[in-house]
Amino acid sequence: MADNGRGDLQDRVAFITGAARGQGRSHALTLAREGAVIVAVDICASVPTVPYGLGTEEDLAETARLVEEAGGRCLTARADVRNREELVAAVEKAMATFGRLDVVVANAGVAQGLPETEAATIDEIWADYIAINLTGAWNTLQATRDALVDGGRGGSVIIISSTSGLKGTSRGDVRADAYTAAKHGLVGLMRAWANELGPAGVRVNTIHPTAVGTPMVENPAMGAWVEANRHRVAGGFNDAMHRGRVGLQDVSEAVLWLASERSGAVTGVTLPVDNGFVIA
């Protein structure tokens, strides 16, 4: 159990989307171990255009259990990031419970893969992937803005993008255009909001992981995508350090640093966590 009297985020409240499992759960646990109170938000439902299962209510409850097991407090809320009213309701629930908001991690996202069957048109896929991965982050910022600014304490907004937000993903005959466009769009969103919220002491940054071992990556649809692109990877590696995937904790440590005052002068930054993928 963490020593909650000494954490970098003692008494801070962190609002995390996509928190039922994967990166979101890892970020929640990491921040909780440093003293943060967690507001864990997830859709807890499937999306027809996404070719793999998403987090469930049981997954979200498990995130809360693990946070509490680590000595933290966790409030859960179901919300689809495509629906700003649901996010606003989650923020209002958090404010009524904890009275403040200090950290926002816009983590919710979905990845394009190769579905076993064509369940949707390319127009439907484009619309959903832009809505979840880009508009969802914008909705999250819109929903949390007043709570961050009106608190008068500053704060930190961390948007989880991707290395696909820093370089073009090889497409060929494999769909990755909506994902890549959305992840690039998050950089522009971050820079605009870093300027807007800077006078209030709220910092805004993006993190750009390469592939992470989560259910978003480890599923048949994504496995087919990787296999279809394997010929593009020279020598079996596509990163400068020849390590391949990064770990969940690698990304969560970057989230922790940006959430804490240790990065108090850092805003408007695109931070790769990728073993050198974007330079290879």
**Ranges assigned E (strand) in the chain:** 13-17, 37-42, 74-78, 103-106, 155-160, 202-209, 270-273
**pLDDT averaged over every residue in the chain:** 87
Band of the pLDDT at 227, cuts 50, 70, 90?
very low
> Could you give the angle at the alpha carbon of 106 between the alpha carbons of 171 and 62, nearest 5°?
105
Q: How many residues does the chain have?
A: 280
% of the chain at pLDDT higher than 70: 82
Find the range with the poorest average confidence among 152-156, 166-170, 253-257. 166-170
Are 217 and 111 spatial neighbours (Cβ–Cβ below 8 Å)? yes
The C-alpha atoms of residue 5 and residue 198 are separated, in whole angstroms, by: 29
The C-alpha atoms of residue 38 and residue 31 are separated, in whole angstroms, by: 8
Closest residue by Cα to residue 9 from 41, 39, 32, 40:
32
CA distance to 83, 84, 148, 247, per residue, from 39 (Å): 17, 16, 14, 23
pLDDT (0 to 100) of residue 119:
64
Stated pTM of the model? 0.89
Structure confidence by residue, pLDDT tens digits, 92-124: 999 999 999 999 999 999 987 655 446 678 888
pLDDT (0 to 100) of residue 18:
98
Residues labelled as active-site residues: 179
What average pLDDT score do residues 178-196 get?
96
pLDDT (0 to 100) of residue 214:
55
Distance of CA 19 to the CA centre of its chain: 8
